[in-house]
Amino acid sequence: MKQLVQKLSEGRPFVLETPEPILEPGFVLVRNRYSVISAGTEGATVRSARKSLVGKALERPKEVRAVLELFRKAGPIQTYRAVTKKLDAYSPLGYSCAGQVIAAGEGVAEFRPGDLVACAGVGYACHAEIVAVPKNLCVKLKRDADLRAAAFNTLGAIALQGVRQADLRLGETCAVIGLGLVGTLAALLLKASGARVFGLDVDPAAVERARALRVGDVWSVGEPALEENILLQTRGLGVDAVVVAASSTSLDPINLAGRLARKKGKVVVLGDVPTGFDRNPDYYPKELELRMSRSYGPGRYDPEYEENGRDYPPEYVRWTEKRNMEAFQDLVYSGAVDAGALVSRVFSLDDAPKAYDMILERKEPFLGLLVDYGPAPTGETPSPKRAESAEPAKREPADRLGIAFIGAGSYAQGTLIPNLPTDLNVRRVGVATRSGATARRVANKFGFDVAASDARELIRRDDVNAVFIATRHDSHARYALEALDARQNVFLEKPLCLTLEEFTALKSAHEKAAADTNPPRLCLGFNRRFAPLALELKKRLSGFAPMSIVYRVDAGAIPKENWIQNPEIGGGRILGEVCHFVDFCAWLANSAPVSVYAAALDSGAETQDTVAVTLKFANGSLANVCYFANGSTKPSKERIEVFQSRQTAVLENFSSLQICGSENYRAKAFQNKGQAEMLSAFLNSIRRGLPSPIPAEEIFQNTLATFAILESLASGREIPLV
């Protein structure tokens, strides 16, 4: 299918051929008929992307600081990879559209194929022929709805949320500052609600356009006696509320709002303006109430609502972002709001890049810009791709390895794919990601033959004999089970899984596959055991003698809103990252863990990511894993101290090693956590018919020990593993 994207490095929107999105549970697959180009949001995105690297840096001081910190901690190579990934990514454009349902995913009951719908959401309701949208960001339309008008769905909901924040009653007055697309929609909604509207803009063309649309009493901000006229029209009171829908770096809009509002009135910030208003003579003496309008409404930025489809009860949250969209569509359908009158130009998808030149050059007046995808082909009844059952394939050792990547996020693009060995005869067959644009970009950059959105396409291919899974944690077990069922060799980025039920299923599937003549290999991304200095440390320790290990990790804080902290998506930091350190200690001790005890810092936070873990091993060794998120990130992240047979060893951040004892040893090197060595060992094991470089029993026993950490934290007890 075709999709409109841009690169941050260039700022040139272009149409790209990408894989069609797959239908996931809780999602709706929609063939677009129209989508709206937002001159404000999308125009700013393209304008920023067209700036030089210096210009981009000046606009993003926070990101620049993050890059400098990454350079300090990870060095130039990792920093370069991270920056180029960001700059060269194909970023989807668009976030408001309307079309026809192709199919509804599992758990979606309100939509059927053929339904007309309007959709919302950055990354979902894109400028693309087919989009996959979560059910809470999709609303059903009447069968005779005008899809041109319905495509304004997202912007209408944004404007409506601003109107709700103004909280006006019938007959009250409101000024709208900024008569762009969202401001004009807000004015039309206010008028439909029975409020008296005063529209203001600095652009004479916007003023004339608003007058033609009859949004209310409209003035140019530069007109003389503007404030006196509005005061006269409100009988000396001032307006009850002001909606600031302008986009400006100046304080003028917010200060003008303060002058227009009556005493104890409300100022609602709907547009992108600074809020450092002058305290006097208006905001403080009038005791004005400043309110922020958060995008489409309640539910916005909440992944549980937007991605997982969990609604808020209407008796407690009357107007969510979806219910705002439904209300807007009701007003459009009834004719109370004429959204169709906002359309200035309509572009085909192939010509859509010209719209952004029009936005940036401002050579002609415009308001609403639409992308027209044309009607669906006559008689077409498309259906989404479904999983197909197949007999397990017999895969023999091969001189040439065909690899496929499922998932290609930051870690895959920055660490895994660049570290694939080049000295082996490896063919990069395909890459699959949820975003077709990302799959296409990764395929082009890293030399994969196929870009896909459906992982099953790659898992079942005969020319693939190694599947790398680097998706979000909640899908690890699902894809690994499918790959093992297809008798694929599997490299799975940690963690193995998020639940004990998944653990049991994976262990059973692996044991079943292991009975084959040439069983598939299962390797988990426990790369630290392959680090050169870690191998040197283990070589210099005294065989299997018991040892004491202290593994300190200065992890740094991650907000609870981050997907990693979500128990259902990321599993939390213990399952997601502490598993690394459990595995390393077991590998270093040459023994299996037999019991686990853990305690967490009671900080009042909802997350448990400052923990001390004690591991006992079968050979008498002891390890303490201190995973702390409450410290500074300036010291080295990882420090490993080992005490054994009158020797003391310190491995600092996998870049320096010191051993004191009967023979002293000291080594320094660039930080190397063993990713390249791990990948090479895994692919070599396939080519040569060798066992997996990480024995499966160690993968399962060390993962089980990680689950025991959670059990110990919950119970306060030491958890035996045997």
Give tens-digit pLDDT for 98-131.
999 999 999 999 999 999 999 999 999 999 999 9
Does residue 368 carry a pLDDT above 50? yes
Whether 444 and 573 share a structural domain: no
Q: Is residue 177 part of a domain?
A: yes
Angle of CA points 236, 239, 244, to nearest 5°: 145
Whether 172 and 65 share a structural domain: no
Whether 544 and 693 share a structural domain: yes
What range defines the domain where residue 646 resides?
528-720
Average pLDDT over residues 214-238: 92
Write out pLDDT tens, residues 400-446: 789 999 999 989 998 999 999 876 688 999 999 988 889 999 999 99
Q: Which two tokens stand for residue 4?
A: 């409109």
How many domains are there within the chain? Answer: 4
Picking from 225, 259, 292, the residue at the C-terminal end of a domain is 292
Does residue 381 carry a pLDDT above 70? no
Q: Please list, in sequence order, all residues whose beta carbon lies within 8 angstroms of the beta carbon of residue 354, skipping any fewer than 6 positions away.
A: 347
- Answer whether 411's CB lies under 8 Å from 59's CB: no
Q: What CATH number does the domain containing 354 carry?
A: 3.90.180.10
Instruction: Tell me the C-alpha distance between 716 and 704, whole Å.
Output: 17
Whether 583 and 715 share a structural domain: yes
Whether 247 and 353 share a structural domain: no
Picking from 460, 491, 525, the residue at the C-terminal end of a domain is 525
Average pLDDT over residues 316-344: 96
Q: What CATH number does the domain containing 187 carry?
A: 3.40.50.720
Q: For tokens 């001159």, what's the residue?
A: 39
Selection from 303, 309, 319 nearest residue 109 by Cα: 309
**CA distances (Å), 328 to each of 97, 155, 324, in order?**
14, 10, 6
Whether 231 and 347 share a structural domain: no
Whether 117 and 184 share a structural domain: no
E-assigned strands of 93-129?
Answer: 96-104, 116-120
Q: What CATH number does the domain containing 584 carry?
A: 3.30.360.10
DSSP 3-state assignment of 617?
strand
Whether 140 and 171 share a structural domain: no
Instruction: Tell me the C-alpha distance between 136 and 303, whole Å.
Output: 11
Whether 628 and 714 share a structural domain: yes
Average pLDDT over residues 23-36: 96
Whether 514 and 533 share a structural domain: no
Picking from 275, 292, 309, the residue at the C-terminal end of a domain is 292
Q: Is residue 581 part of a domain?
A: yes
- Answer whether 594's CB lies under 8 Å from 616's CB: yes
Q: Is residue 298 part of a domain?
A: no
Average pLDDT over residues 229-245: 95
For residue 192, the cross-strand partners are: none
Instruction: Tell me the C-alpha distance between 131 and 3, whole Å.
Output: 10
Q: Is residue 318 part of a domain?
A: no
Q: Is residue 440 part of a domain?
A: yes
Whether 101 and 220 share a structural domain: no
Q: Is residue 283 part of a domain?
A: yes
Q: Is residue 37 part of a domain?
A: yes
- Element at 587 (helix H, strand E): helix 579-589
- Element at 269 (helix H, strand E): strand 261-269
Instruction: Name the pLDDT band for 534 (thresholds 50, 70, 90).
Output: very high
Whether 540 and 467 share a structural domain: no
Instruction: Tell me the C-alpha distance between 188 and 336, whole Å.
Output: 8
Alpha helices by DSSP H, 115-266: 147-150, 153-166, 181-192, 204-213, 226-233, 252-260
Parallel/antiparallel/unpaired status of strands 239-244 and 173-177 = parallel
Query: Which of 196-200, 202-206, 323-327, 358-362 shows the lowest per-residue confidence on average (mean pLDDT)?
Result: 358-362
Does residue 600 carry a pLDDT above 60? yes
Q: Is residue 496 part of a domain?
A: yes
Write out pLDDT tens, residues 263-307: 999 999 999 999 888 888 899 999 999 999 999 999 999 988 998
